[in-house]
């Protein structure tokens, strides 16, 4: 029987082999099932097949910052340093916008309560 670490290494090898091309989870799942069995897969809240969290946890130490997960299309990809910097900047701007929106909601709620 395979371990999460062995399967994570297989997954990392698959991602690396595709280079800058995306490695879609929906394409990896059937291959993972074929090589390692159903016990490493589950149905997520959207009823999609997903990779066991133990494998994803074991994948963490294997990957560099340049291997990213794109939640919007459920894929991994390798990005260069410039892309990574842009992604981090974009994420920081989004975080600041969320925090600002949260602050405004809190202020409006406080104003309503004080009326």
For the chain, count helices (H), then strands (E): 4, 5
User: CA 4 to CA 50: how far, in whole Å?
Assistant: 14
- Which class for 101: exposed (0-12), middle (13-18), buried (19 or more C-beta within 10 A)? exposed
Residue 113's pLDDT is 84
Token duo for residue 56: 């994803």
- Residue-wise pLDDT for 7-61, tens only, equals 999 999 999 999 889 999 999 999 999 999 999 999 999 898 999 999 999 999 9
Placement of tokens 């990574």 in the chain? 84
How confident is the prediction for the chain on average, in pLDDT? Answer: 94
**What is the average per-residue pLDDT within 82-98?**
94
The answer to whether the predicted template modeling score (pTM) of the entire model surpasses 0.85 is no
Q: Which two tokens stand for residue 10?
A: 């297989």
Q: Burial of 15 by CB count in 10 Å (0-12 exposed, 13-18 middle, 19+ buried)? A: buried
pLDDT score of 111 more than 90: no
Q: Could you tell me the residue ranges of all domains in the chain?
A: 1-78, 80-115
């Amino acid at each position: 029987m395979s371990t999460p670490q062995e399967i994570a290494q297989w997954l990392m090898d698959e991602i690396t082999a595709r280079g800058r091309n995306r490695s879609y989870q929906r394409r990896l799942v059937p291959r993972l099932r074929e090589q390692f069995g159903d016990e490493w897969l589950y149905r997520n809240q959207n009823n999609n097949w997903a990779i066991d969290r133990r494998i994803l946890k074991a994948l963490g130490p294997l990957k560099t910052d340049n291997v990213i997960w794109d939640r919007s299309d459920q894929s991994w990809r390798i990005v260069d340093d410039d892309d990574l910097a842009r992604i981090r900047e974009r994420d920081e701007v989004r975080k600041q916008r969320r925090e600002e929106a949260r602050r405004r909601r809190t202020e409006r709620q406080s104003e309503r309560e004080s009326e």
